[in-house]
Amino acid sequence: MASLFKDLTKLSAYRDRRFPGNQEEFEQALHTSTTVYIGNMSFYTTEEQVYELFSRAGEIKKITMGLDKNSKTPCGFCFVLYYSREDTEDAMKFISGTILDDRPIRVDFDWGFQEGRQWGRGRSGGQVRDEYRTDYDPGRGGYGKLVQQELEAQRQLVDYGTGSLGSFPPVMPPPHYGRRGGHNQGGSHPQSRDYHHRKRHREDDRPPRESSKRTLDHESRRNFDPNSRPEKNPRFRESANSDDEEEDGGKQRP
Amino acid sequence: MSSWRSLLLRIGDKCPDYGTSSDFKEHIETCFGVIRRELEHSSDDILPFLLQCAEQLPHKIPLYGTLVGLLNLENEDFVKQMVETTQANFQDALDFGNCDMIRILMRFLTVMMCSKVLQPSSLVVVFETLLSSASTTLDEEKGNPSWQARGDFYVSCILSCLPWGGSELVEQVPEEIECVMVGIEAYLSIRRHNSDTGLSFFEDDDESGSGVVEKDFLEDLWGRIQVLSSNGWKVDSVPRPHLSFEAQLVAGKSHEFGPINAPEQPEPLSEVSGVLYGKQKHNAELKYPQRIRRLNIFPASKTEDMQPIDRFIVEEYLLDVLLFLNGCRKECASFMVGLPVPFRYDYLMAETIFSQLLLLPLPPFKPIYYTLVIMDLCKALPGAFPGVVAGAVRALFEKIADLDMECQTRLILWFSHHLSNFQFIWPWEEWAFVLDLPKWAPQRVFVQEVLEREVRLSYWDKVKQSIENAPALEELLPPKGSPNFIYSIEDGRERTEQHALSAELNNKVKGRQTAREIISWVEESVFPNHGWDVVLKVVVHTLLDIGSKSFTHLITVLERYGQVFARICPDHDKQVMLIAEVGSYWKNNAQMTAVAIDRMMGYRLISNLAIVRWVFSPANVEQFHTSDRPWEVLRNAIGKTYNRISDLRNEISSLKKSVVSAEAAAAKAKAELDAAESKLSLVDGEPVLGDNPVKLKRLKANAEKAKEEEVSVHESLEAKEALLARALDENEALFLSLYKNFSNVLMERLPDPSRARTLRELKSIQADEMTVDLDESSVMEVDNESRRPNKSQSNGGKDSNIYNVGEKEQWCLSTLGYVKAFARQYASEIWAHIEKLDADVLTENVHPLFKKAVYSGLSRPVNDVSSG
């Protein structure tokens, strides 16, 4: 990569406060890591979509989806582990800022996945950034968690009835959905998406057991055994709820 | 960044550092004004940075050259040092074969000559050195003609300098430069015309049958330079800022340019043909690759009107920006669109990027890089570039039947990815006609595979929605991708014994039984009562179903229960059946089929040989011309094998370095110990042999430890080398099996060699059969030298939709295309086993078209009959 315009020693402006070491060790980890962090994903993006896109930068060893620590559903980030460093760098250089599932995603070097890092660090279970957002983002569960709570409180006051507020559409359309670029807007408006039919069939043909269909979809997807309860997912069995001591970590990557 | 740095970096750009001015002269004056002041205390920083700018932003070299010329008037020593550093870097680049550096530094030398920093004769000496080396290479006795690629490269570097300084050279040293030109002409007359048809984008380029031979890259460049020379060396696309400062620059002192030595000639070969020649030629072409192959997809009416040399120069600019600014998206896009040329070049830019995306055997970067660049340019030039890109897509789609198979695959991956970044908007109605084509028509397969990849990047309903302008195309969408679980109990189907077994297995997994427990259950109760076939079906379907929720679920199942598969499928035969079951479970989902097989190979549950056999099983062979599905699996398997070998090679090369340093450390520790032991020291006033005991003991321990480390590194190196040797043997077996299989299936289907000597004849078989009496004349037409046949089967102007290749013929064409593509991609690996391949596969009896496809992939002359 050209060294004229980029400081090659500075790989990431994000500093994970939970990294168990000093700044130097952190940078060393970033320089040798074969893991990338992917942010600003839609909650609905699947591992297979991630696989299709990121395998274009090289052979993938592992994908770890970031999950809401309460609902165990994807909460908009993931880690991709490559076999080679070169492929990792290419993923960072050539995929960051491009679109996956209609969203510009961010790809950053990561110091390496460790058990526990798949959980959202926000107070409500998801990522910290989704706590305080005030915009309406249909790909990430609607409004930010705090705004949702506020709306919920207001709504109960005026007794609008029940319903999943997270996916309650805003009064005004989101202000800047369209992207710069030569093509005009088109395709489906995000709000008209039929969420529970949007993913592969195999995840959709099970009967609803809860009121929130979306949550159910993801629970069953995460669920290792189709007939057992969500908590039985063996991938995460050792460390469930082991990681809630502080919630700063996500404080917005650049 | 301090200001002198940003002025150097941004010179010539429209940017705040230079205010509102976009005049090169003003930029140079501003920059010079600052640099001359900084020179006193920062010259040690300025020199390397200035060189780095010139090397990495070569389109600005004339500006840097003029700046150096001005600095030469202020501080001769600084510039002298600069020239010396450049000389040293240039020599290094020659020694290590760093092509980009050689090319760029020669341009830098040329502009320094223009700015009076170097004597024109110094530059001519460099030209003569390289030209003489190139000519010697072609000499069978003193050189080695298999290395012509290096000679060609040197000569192309000389020619490439002329747009930057030809005018000055002709004016100042007319005889010398004339002499160089005569030498180049002589070189061109003795070199072999480069006819690497295996690397051309379009299949029919190589067998037009006409006597017209397309110019190769060097001949083409020579032609452009001759036009330039006859135009009085006037070039629009090269800025000549030194002219504005000529009055000052003439006062500058020219510096000596130290002698340059061309690297040694390769050992002469005993004969200029045969396997050894082929291998060396392959290596030389790897080291000195051709930078660009022109795609020529736009009609002349669309492309920008420019001088022949301008096209070459703009291509050079674009390729260098792509090379040096990868990873800097903003700068890359802004330099691409803002080159210092006074004409538009959108079409040329698109064609250049596409020619890189499709470059064979491999582009300098992964295709995804060019995907990103195209997206960024669409955003940077929203009014112009998307239309040009669409034009390129249409042009390529028109000719897709002739497009190389590897290029087709890259185009599919690029296009689907590109559309996924622009809301999947495309005028699909234009292509709805493919539904009227037979299912093997390349245009139809292209649309189908693009849609498949779109679905993978997005989801079925979304892609369905995106083709609403041509709803009938839904027929080409992949199935919805759900698993084909034969023991599903949800739909109330009849439950068989096997359903019960599957449910039992499912319960065992849920109950966290270990792989070993499941193996004993299989061996003790399932196998004896139901037989192996039932075991395989139940185990594969049930375990895959448990792992069907996501990629990670699949991995988890394979990690936990991989041993079960390994136990029931210990040999190739059974592994082939295992893969077939995987294919059956995921029959509606090509991605998961490929991923599951890939992971199973990763856990070494199935071998690459078993995968090859499965790919060549009848059900897959039937799809060779209608689907990418079997090919994706094959690509993955060979790619993974290759990656393993590359990893081993890398580990070995770093272990070798460790061995050297461990040996040095051990020798040093030993030497210290020896020195200490032989040292006389005074103990109680008496001289005693040996240093003080504490120190001796420590040194001894050190020496032992160092020795141990040396031994241990040696051992790991040996272990890795043994692994590599085994991997290479397996690789040989893989390629033998691959090409034997290819040969067999092709032999069964290809028409008799007398009926199809070329792909063109093969294509026209069905057409010929329909018009039997015209058979003679159509063959004649192909052989007719005076008329070049239609460039493309499916590109006959308005009738472009006529496609009349028969199914069997298209099957042969597609399969031969893949034969060539695999040979080309893994040419280095295959060349290593070529003797074996010649003896076992490429025998007298193989079909000539098959042999031709392999040879052309390897860039090996067909008439080069190797007797072993």
CB distance from A4 to chain B under 8 Å? yes
State how far Cα B500 lies from the chain centre. 51
Residues of A in contact with B328 (CB under 8 A): 1-2, 5-6
Residues of B in contact with A199 (CB under 8 A): 459
How far A161 CA lies from chain B's nearest CA (Å)? 31
Question: Residues B687-744: pLDDT tens digits?
Answer: 777 777 788 888 889 999 999 999 999 999 999 999 999 999 999 999 999 999 999 9
pLDDT at B444 over 80: yes
Subunit contact A100:B457, Cβ cutoff 8 A: yes
Distance between CA atoms of A203 and B751, rounded to whole angstroms?
48
In the structure encoding, which two tokens stand for residue A124, read together?
Answer: 């409500």
Distance between CA atoms of B626 and B442, rounded to whole angstroms?
8
CB distance from B647 to chain A under 8 Å? yes
pLDDT interval class at B524 (50, 70, 90): very high
Cβ neighbours of A194 (radius 10 Å): 8
Subunit contact B456:A49, Cβ cutoff 8 A: yes
Question: Residues B564-609: pLDDT tens digits?
Answer: 999 999 999 999 999 999 999 999 999 999 999 999 999 999 999 9
The DSSP secondary-structure symbol of B679 reads -
Compute the average pLDDT of residues B42-56. Answer: 94
Report the percentage of chain B scoring pLDDT > 90: 80
Give the model's pLDDT for residue A7: 67
pLDDT at A33 over 50: yes
From the list A51, A59, A197, the residue facing B461 with the nearest CB is A197
Rounded (10°) CA dihedral B277, B281, B284, B285: -170
pLDDT at A172 over 70: no
Are B378 and A181 in contact by the 8 Å Cβ rule? The answer is yes
Residue with the two structure tokens 């699909």: B428
Distance between CA atoms of B99 and B91, rounded to whole angstroms?
12
Amino acid at B70: L
Subunit contact B381:A90, Cβ cutoff 8 A: no
How far B476 CA lies from chain A's nearest CA (Å)? 17
Alpha carbons within 13 A on the beta-carbon side of B71: 30
pLDDT at A95 over 80: yes
- First vs last C-alpha separation in chain A: 21
Give the model's pLDDT for residue A157: 67
Searching chain B, which residue's CA lies closest to the CA of residue A11?
B327
In the structure encoding, which two tokens stand for residue B374, read together?
Answer: 């195209």
Subunit contact A57:B456, Cβ cutoff 8 A: no
Enumerate the β-bridge partners of residue A191. Answer: none
Name residues whose C-beta falls within 8 Å of residue B693's C-beta, 6 or more positions apart in sequence. none
Report the percentage of chain B scoring pLDDT > 70: 93
Compute the average pLDDT of residues B542-552. Answer: 96
pLDDT at A65 over 60: yes
In the structure encoding, which two tokens stand for residue A107, read together?
Answer: 């790809």
Residue B775's nearest CA partner among B764, B786, B791 is: B764
Compute the average pLDDT of residues B36-51. Answer: 92
How far B517 CA lies from chain A's nearest CA (Å)? 18
Distance between CA atoms of A119 and A242, rounded to whole angstroms?
10
pLDDT interval class at A215 (50, 70, 90): very low
Amino acid at B508: K
Residues of A in contact with B365 (CB under 8 A): 90
Q: Characterize the bridge pairing of strands A99-100 and A103-104.
A: antiparallel
pLDDT at A189 over 70: no
Compute the average pLDDT of residues B38-62. Answer: 94
Searching chain A, which residue's CA lies closest to the CA of residue B366?
A57
Give the model's pLDDT for residue A251: 34
Subunit contact B382:A49, Cβ cutoff 8 A: no
Name residues whose C-beta falls within 8 Å of residue B175's C-beta, 6 or more positions apart in sequence. none
pLDDT interval class at A36 (50, 70, 90): very high
Subunit contact B551:A48, Cβ cutoff 8 A: yes
pLDDT at B240 over 80: yes
Residues of A in contact with B651 (CB under 8 A): none
Compute the average pLDDT of residues B549-573. Answer: 96
Residues of A in contact with B372 (CB under 8 A): 94-95, 98
CB distance from B553 to chain A under 8 Å? yes
pLDDT at B133 over 90: yes
pLDDT interval class at B765 (50, 70, 90): confident
Subunit contact B366:A235, Cβ cutoff 8 A: no
Subunit contact B458:A49, Cβ cutoff 8 A: yes
Question: Residues B25-37: pLDDT tens digits?
Answer: 999 999 999 999 9
The DSSP secondary-structure symbol of B255 reads B
- Using H for helix, E for strand and C for coil, what is the string for B575-596? HHHHHHHHHHHCCCCHHHHHHH
Q: In this predicted structure, which of A219-228, B82-91, B495-504 has the lowest mean pLDDT?
A: A219-228
How far B790 CA lies from chain A's nearest CA (Å)? 35
CB distance from A15 to chain B under 8 Å? no
From the list B382, B425, B592, the residue facing A187 with the nearest CB is B425
Subunit contact B422:A222, Cβ cutoff 8 A: no
Using omega within 30 degrees of 0 as the cis cutoff, is the peptide bond preceding B361 cis? Answer: yes
Distance between CA atoms of B292 and B300, rounded to whole angstroms?
19
Distance between CA atoms of B218 and A135, rounded to whole angstroms?
59
From the list B422, B459, B552, the residue facing A63 with the nearest CB is B552
Interface of B with A in 465-524 (CB under 8 A): 465-466, 480-483, 490, 506, 509-510
Searching chain B, which residue's CA lies closest to the CA of residue A235?
B556
Residues of B in contact with A182 (CB under 8 A): 378-379, 381-383, 385-387, 422
**Could you tell me which residue, B550 or A214, shows the higher pLDDT?**
B550
Distance between CA atoms of A46 and A49, rounded to whole angstroms?
5
How far B369 CA lies from chain A's nearest CA (Å)? 6
CA angle, residues B741, B745, B749, in degrees to nearest 5: 165
- Best of B362, B378, B414, B423 to substitute, by most chain A Cβ atoms within 10 angstroms, is B423
Distance between CA atoms of B511 and B316, rounded to whole angstroms?
64
pLDDT interval class at B204 (50, 70, 90): low
CB distance from A3 to chain B under 8 Å? yes
Subunit contact B57:A4, Cβ cutoff 8 A: yes
Amino acid at B31: C
Interface of A with B in 221-240 (CB under 8 A): 221-228, 232, 234-235
Are B304 and B348 in contact by the 8 Å Cβ rule? The answer is yes
Interface of B with A in 445-464 (CB under 8 A): 453, 456-462
Compute the average pLDDT of residues A110-129. Answer: 82
From the list B331, B461, B509, the residue facing A5 with the nearest CB is B331
Give the model's pLDDT for residue B493: 65
How far A47 CA lies from chain B's nearest CA (Å)? 6
Subunit contact A235:B420, Cβ cutoff 8 A: no
Question: Residues A217-251: pLDDT tens digits?
Answer: 444 444 444 343 333 333 332 333 333 333 333 33
Compute the average pLDDT of residues B217-240. Answer: 95
Give the model's pLDDT for residue A158: 63
Compute the average pLDDT of residues B226-232. Answer: 95
In B458-513, which ranges are continuous DSSP H helix?
460-466, 497-510
CB distance from A200 to chain B under 8 Å? yes
Residues of A in contact with B423 (CB under 8 A): 102, 183, 185-187
Are B579 and B619 in contact by the 8 Å Cβ rule? The answer is no
Q: In this predicted structure, which of A148-152, B255-259, B411-415, B564-568 has the lowest mean pLDDT?
A: A148-152
DSSP, collapsed to helix, strand or coil, labels residue A104 as: strand
Subunit contact A225:B509, Cβ cutoff 8 A: yes
Compute the average pLDDT of residues B233-253. Answer: 94
Residue A45's nearest CA partner among A92, A93, A77, A80 is: A77
Give the model's pLDDT for residue B40: 87
Residue B406's nearest CA partner among B594, B200, B608 is: B200
pLDDT interval class at A199 (50, 70, 90): very low
How far A61 CA lies from chain B's nearest CA (Å)? 9
Rounded (10°) CA dihedral A63, A69, A70, A74: -30
pLDDT at B791 over 80: no
Enumerate the β-bridge partners of residue A99. Answer: A104
